[in-house]
Amino acid sequence: MKTKEDPTAKALRVWEKSAPGYDKQIAFFEKVWFGGGREWLTARARGRVLEVAIGTGRNLPLYPADVTITGIELSPAMLAIARQRAADLGVDVALRTGDAQALPFDDETFDTVVCALSLCTIPDPAAAINQMRRVLVPGGRLLLLDHIGSSWPPVRAGQWLLERVTIRAAGEHFTRRQLPLVQAAGFDIVEAQRLKAGSIERIFARKPATV
């Protein structure tokens, strides 16, 4: 009997394999589907920023000059590309490997947490969001961008069919939605936008300040 692969190990295997061609692949989708999303996120970043699942570092050129950036990524191959991108840009960023579901940082370490186009593939997105909350200071900012289940039934039906392949092959979900998880984790929603037939969502939330 074949042993079922651990979901996090599967995600690592997929991203290690995908790393060399990721930038070329995602560039098309960013142009036609996610356009402006990264700029929306980074414009709202403040202070000490943690980018969870930083991937190849595609957000690095977009951050305000006065933030300090830490990036964590499951895949060493993806992180190596991010490290080279940071060097090419002259951006000072602390990069390390790690799991979004068990962030290796102390409580209340960061002013902003950013996660772009990654909760769709993280095996336990609720655990990851709770970890993001833990490492944020009271009043800290959570900034998320992802594709989600469309609000238009014909598109959502197509996403559901696509998932029958993508979940098995790469652990990628198309009908998830992160907003309820953010609310369940106790964040206050500042801004939430749904675009492209409701299939793209941008979220700006705050961790409540300590009373």
| Residue 133 placed within a domain | yes
- 33, pLDDT greater than 60: yes
DSSP summary character for residue 151:
S
Cα–Cα distance for residue pair 59/70, rounded to 1 Å? 12
Residue 149's pLDDT is 87
| Residue 1 placed within a domain | no
Residue with the bigger pLDDT between 30 and 183: it is 183
Q: What percent of the chain has pLDDT over 90?
A: 66
- 211, pLDDT greater than 80: no
- 1, pLDDT greater than 70: no
Q: Kindly report the pTM of this predicted structure.
A: 0.93
Residue 3's pLDDT is 67
Taking only the tens place, the pLDDT of each residue in 161-210 is 989 888 888 888 888 999 999 999 999 999 999 988 788 999 999 999 97
Domain hosting 61: range is 7-206
90, 33, 158, 155: CA torsion to nearest 10: 140
| Residue 161 placed within a domain | yes
| Residue 69 placed within a domain | yes
Residue with the bigger pLDDT between 170 and 105: it is 105
Residue 108's pLDDT is 97
Residue identified by tokens 């014909």 is: 154
**3-state secondary structure (DSSP) of residue 123:** coil
Instruction: Return the closest-CA partner of residue 155 out of 195, 116, 117, 125.
Output: 195
Residue 18's pLDDT is 87
| Residue 125 placed within a domain | yes
Beta-bridged to residue 93, according to DSSP, are 69
**Residue 199 in contact with residue 177, Cβ under 8 Å?**
no
| Residue 211 placed within a domain | no
Beta-bridged to residue 145, according to DSSP, are 116, 202
| Residue 44 placed within a domain | yes
Give Cα 39 to chain centroid, integer Å: 14
Taking only the tens place, the pLDDT of each residue in 116-133 is 999 999 999 999 999 999
For residue 125, what is the enclosing H or E element? helix 125-135
The CATH number linked to 150 is 3.40.50.150
Cα–Cα distance for residue pair 111/45, rounded to 1 Å? 8
Q: What is the mean pLDDT of residues 145-169?
A: 87
CA distances from 186 to 29, 60, 178 (A): 31, 28, 13
Q: Which two tokens stand for residue 135?
A: 């490492």
| Residue 2 placed within a domain | no
Q: How many domains does the chain have?
A: 1
How does residue 136 score in pLDDT terms, banded at 50, 70 and 90? very high
Residue 7's pLDDT is 86
How does residue 34 score in pLDDT terms, banded at 50, 70 and 90? confident
